[in-house]
């Protein structure tokens, strides 16, 4: 028996005395399928071969060599990352990460044909695919407005893009046997203090109602709507605010998408989960790390991520949550960004799943002293030994080893992308 198994058995015993069955936790974690966000691999540029700059208030910083310039290169990079992330995951696309363009066909008329190689790739790997409309990085994002623009023709273009992405998502869902999450995030907002916040919000509401008018089976596609607090160039007002989308999602039975970078720095997204679980059956999480602002840093195992992992797993509601990563860092190797961020998300979930029962038992008895002592004591439990066993059982390198494979891939593939 190797050192990792030996340590696992000792950890298993220690957890058992705290009432935790580590074998069942390993199985629970294996079943959590994260959505790996393809847009970390191309710096959210897309593959329409236009010179559309990244707009919509998102910013990618860094110029680490090897960005994927085509869908084929991106799939190769995703394969390299998926080989190093334990478990079986899905991949999320943006609506401009097409395989191919057709003459005279713009985003308002995309079909699954624009993503056919993505479908073949996903089929061959037996993974699910999600897709989000790209309401940004296009001339029709005018004065910072898309679905809420006062010009009906501009709104109609974006409404048609949203409808097209839902249909593409349904095609993914049908072919892959797992419903595609189609997340609507519109960058609409104002840099400076607007005179009218109300009309754009009414227009956004009506545009979204048009996007969602066609009923699509939830077996094929699930709609989500993502709120935001501000973006670069929309510092003074975001049309699709948290209040707007919470009410829209509740009224129209859509999934709310909480992006952990889209709230005030002192707000806890972790705390929102159980409130939403009370009244909604599904939720999309975009897990990111803001540093001073919505800066989309790679996930690290910090208190915020630990809290999200705990709140997501401790009430038995994990099946209600779609967990997608959502960050883009071009200052480091992009495969490493996926692998490090995904593994940290999994570690946060694992630590939540391994939490001893006594914490909540003490709370039921109003013994907050013992609860605090138990919460702090749990931090010393050997979760790392369980994690290392999880990597071993799922045939991926240990944390200390995966960079070797990434460095080899960088040398062989990324470094020659000139």
Binding residues vs Zn ion (CB under 5 A): 259, 286, 326
CB nearer to ligand RNT: pick between 84 and 131: 131
Question: Which one of ligand RNT, Zn ion, none is in contact with 132 (Cβ closer than 5 to 8 A by kind)?
Answer: ligand RNT
> What whole-number distance in Å separates Cα of residue 190 and Cα of residue 77?
36
| Residue list 326-365, contact with ligand RNT (CB under 6 A) | 326
Q: How is residue 150 written in tokens? A: 């006062």
CA 400/CA 344 separation, integer angstroms: 14
Nearest to 66 by CA among 358, 306, 284, 337: 337
CB atoms within 10 A of CB 215: 6
The nearest distance, CB 139 to ligand RNT, in angstroms, is: 18
Helix count and strand count (H, E) for the chain: 14, 10
**Residue number with the smallest Cβ distance to ligand RNT:** 185
Instruction: For residue 322, state whether it binds ligand RNT (rule: CB under 6 A).
Output: no
The entry of ligand RNT, Zn ion, none near residue 228 (CB within 5 to 8 angstroms by kind) is: ligand RNT
Smallest separation, CB 226 to ligand RNT (Å) = 5
User: Cβ contacts of residue 117 below 8 Å, gap of 6+?
Assistant: 71, 72, 75, 99, 100
58 binds ligand RNT (CB under 6 A): yes
Active site residue 228: yes
User: For the purposes of burial, counting CB atoms within 10 Å of the CB of 278, is it exposed (0-12), middle (13-18) or buried (19 or more)?
Assistant: exposed
Check binding of 226 to ligand RNT (CB under 6 A): yes
Task: Cite the DSSP H helix spans in 236-333.
Answer: 242-252, 269-279, 303-313
Comparing every residue's Cβ against Zn ion, the nearest one is 286
In the residue annotation, 326 being an active-site residue is answered as yes
CB atoms within 10 A of CB 4: 15
Rule CB under 6 A: say whether 228 interacts with ligand RNT: yes
- 142: annotated active-site residue: no
Q: Is 286 in the site for ligand RNT (CB under 6 A)?
A: yes
Nearer to ligand RNT, 294 or 410 (CB): 294
Catalytic residue among 73, 326, 329, 355: 326
Three-class DSSP category at 338: helix
* Residue numbers at the binding site for ligand RNT (CB under 6 A): 39, 44, 58, 94, 132, 185, 226, 228, 259, 286, 294, 326
């Amino acid at each position: 028996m190797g050192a990792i198994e030996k340590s696992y058995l000792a950890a298993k015993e220690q957890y058992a005395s705290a009432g935790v069955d580590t074998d069942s936790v390993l199985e629970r974690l294996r079943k959590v399928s994260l959505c790996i966000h393809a847009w970390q691999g191309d710096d959210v540029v897309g593959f329409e071969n236009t010179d559309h700059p990244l707009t919509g208030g998102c910013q990618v910083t860094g110029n680490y060599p090897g960005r994927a310039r085509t869908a084929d290169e991106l799939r190769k990079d995703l394969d390299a990352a998926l080989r190093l992330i334990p478990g079986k995951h899905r991949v999320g696309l943006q609506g401009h990460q097409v395989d191919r363009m057709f003459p005279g066909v713009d985003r308002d008329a995309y079909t699954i044909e624009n993503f056919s190689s993505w479908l073949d790739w996903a089929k061959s790997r037996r993974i699910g695919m999600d897709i989000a409309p790209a309401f940004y990085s296009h001339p029709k994002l005018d004065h910072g407005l898309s679905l809420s623009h006062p010009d009906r023709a501009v709104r109609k273009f974006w409404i048609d893009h949203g409808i097209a992405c839902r249909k593409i998502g349904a095609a993914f869902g049908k072919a892959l046997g797992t419903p595609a999450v189609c997340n609507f995030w519109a960058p609409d907002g104002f840099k400076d203090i607007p005179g009218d916040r109300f009309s754009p919000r009414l227009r956004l509401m009506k545009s979204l109602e048009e996007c969602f008018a066609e009923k699509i089976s939830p077996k094929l596609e699930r709609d989500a709507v993502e709120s935001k607090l501000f973006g670069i160039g929309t510092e003074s007002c975001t049309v699709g605010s948290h209040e707007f989308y919470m009410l829209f999602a509740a009224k129209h039975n859509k999934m709310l998408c909480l992006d952990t970078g889209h709230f005030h720095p002192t707000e806890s997204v972790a705390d929102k989960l159980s409130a939403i679980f009370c009244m909604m059956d599904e939720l999309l999480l975009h897990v990111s790390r803001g540093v001073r602002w919505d800066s989309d840093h790679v996930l690290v195992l910090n208190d915020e991520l630990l809290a999200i992992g705990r709140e997501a797993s401790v009430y038995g509601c994990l099946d209600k949550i779609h967990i997608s990563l959502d960050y883009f860092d071009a200052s480091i190797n992009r495969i490493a960004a996926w692998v490090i961020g995904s593994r940290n998300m999994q570690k946060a979930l694992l630590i939540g799943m391994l939490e001893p029962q006594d914490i909540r038992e003490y709370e039921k008895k109003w013994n907050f002293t013992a609860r605090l002592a138990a919460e702090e004591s749990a931090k010393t439990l050997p979760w790392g030994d369980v994690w290392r066993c999880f990597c071993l059982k799922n045939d991926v390198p240990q944390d200390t080893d995966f960079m070797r494979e990434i460095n080899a891939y960088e040398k062989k593939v990324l470094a020659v992308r000139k």
